Structure 1
Amino acid sequence: METKRTLLAIMALCLLCAAVTESMSLTRIQELRCLCIKTESKPIHPKHIKNIEVIPNGPHCKNVEVIVTLTNMEEVCLEPSAPWVKKIIDKILASSKVPEPTPVA
């Protein structure tokens, strides 16, 4: 009887851990509020930027949010309407486009 309780407790703990870790990866996407309270509009040198995340507007937030992770792991929200931010986003979009195949004659 004791081993059944122990086994049941271990299984419950495993299920709890699995549920918590699964929800952690979706937290940023499913939050029903804007992530950026304050935005930065002054330029940041590209060598200091490690990652850029663009979150489109939606039911969670009416604003498009641009979040950069700096090389020192600090996260900064950028002003999406700033001209230098628009340039960066345009460059990312242009580099991610797949070129059309050229027809073989």
Structure 2
Amino acid sequence: MNCKITGTVVILCLALAAVSEGMSLKSIGLELRCQCIKKESRFIHPRQIQNVELFPSGPHCKDAEVIATMKSGHHICLDPNAPWVKIVIERILER
């Protein structure tokens, strides 16, 4: 009986630690999953784009993600295989 209570307390503590770690990662901007569901491949004029972020593939997502913040405030996922997006990525990496 005492072993069951101890085991339950240990499991609850581990679950709480896992949840709090996941929450702390999200609060510092690390997503635990892919952010892009739909990717845009059509050309978007650079004057409409305010910022571009490149997220390499990793444990959170198997695909590299390129997210453009538009001057209107919207976020658009860009297709990293589109020719014009490859040029944008090269310019970002050169900086």
TM-score for the superposition, normalised by structure 2: 0.70
Larger radius of gyration: 1
**Equivalent in the alignment of 1:73:** 73
Once the two structures are superposed, what CA deviation does each residue of 1:13-61 show, in whole Å capped at 9, x if it has no partner?
Answer: xxxxxxxxxx4641x31x2210000000001000000000000111000
Residue segments in structure 1 that go unaligned for 5+ positions in a row? 1-22, 97-105
Q: Which runs of 5+ in 2 are unaligned?
A: 1-23
Aligned residues: 73
Q: Deviations over 1:41-82 (max 9, x none)?
A: 001000000000000111000000000000000000000010
| Pairing 1:37-56 to 2, within 5 Å after superposition | 37-56=37-56
Give the ranges of 4+ consecutive aligned residues of structure 1 lying more than 2 Å apart after TM superposition: none
1-structure distance, mates of 2:93, 2:33: 26
Percentage of identical aligned residues: 54
Q: TM-score, structure 1 length as denominator?
A: 0.64
